[in-house]
Amino acid sequence: MFLVGAAFVFAVFFLNVALGAFADAAVLGDVGEMLVLSCASLLFVVAILKREADRSKKDDSA
């Protein structure tokens, strides 16, 4: 769930950067790009930490 959200938010960031580089039509400014990339990073970290917690819980029960 969180990993899919991180991928989606990163795709929005990448699309904005690509639009700015190739079409000179970026939708977000510098602060908006920073917030979107920070959100993608945060979602990615949450996804990885949840997966690690699930793995360690499974290892403890075995």
The per-residue pLDDT for 62 is 60
pLDDT tens-digit profile, the chain (62 residues): 999 999 999 999 999 999 999 998 989 999 999 999 999 999 999 999 999 999 998 887 76
Tokens at 61, concatenated: 């029960």
| Region for residue 24 given its phi and psi (left: phi exceeds 0; alpha: psi -120 to 50; beta: otherwise) | left
Q: Which long-range contacts (CB under 8 A, 24 or more apart) does 47-53 make?
A: 47/1, 47/2, 47/3, 47/5, 47/6, 50/2, 51/3
pTM: 0.84
